[in-house]
Amino acid sequence: MELAKQSELSYWDIKDIKDKAKIAKTINWEKVKDMMHKFDMQSPMKMATYWDQEIDFGVKKKPFPFHRHYRINLEKMLHSGCFTPKKAELFIAYAKSLRLDRSLLTGVSEEDVEDNDA
């Protein structure tokens, strides 16, 4: 995963990275490990890919309530792009290193920024 430098990113790129890092931080890796053993999968990425392509590997879709925590973690992994705890830690550290500076905004009013922050 090649990471861009701060100077190459716009305000909205940085905001998107920080939002995805917040999601990656909430992935329950113990549940992911449990899911791998329960459904006999080799990697979390394979599970997430199967889920995204709707290939049946054992996790039931809604309204089956007992697999809700599995579905949530799979969606978080797909959205953030983090499929291992180590990759998630690196992504979170990268997001922390970026500064969300309003001087990066060009052609956007302060009111638009405040509306999107809310």
Name the residue ranges covered by the structural domains of the chain: 9-103
What pLDDT does 61 receive? 78
What pLDDT does 3 receive? 65
Question: Residue 67 has what DSSP assignment?
Answer: G
From CA 11, how far away is CA 99, in angstroms rounded?
A: 9
- Is residue 69 a contact partner of residue 31, using CB atoms and an 8 Å limit? yes
Over its length of 118 residues, how does the chain's per-residue pLDDT go in tens digits?
Answer: 566 666 677 888 888 999 999 999 999 999 999 999 988 999 999 998 888 888 888 887 777 777 888 889 999 999 999 999 999 999 999 999 988 776 666 655 556 656 665 5
Cis peptide before 63 (omega within 30 of 0): yes
Whether the model clears a pTM of 0.85, i.e. scores above it, the answer is: no
From CA 64, how far away is CA 34, in angstroms rounded?
A: 18
Q: Angle CA(51)–CA(56)–CA(87) in degrees, nearest 5?
A: 30
The closest of 26, 35, 117 to 70, measured between CA atoms, is 35
What pLDDT does 106 receive? 60
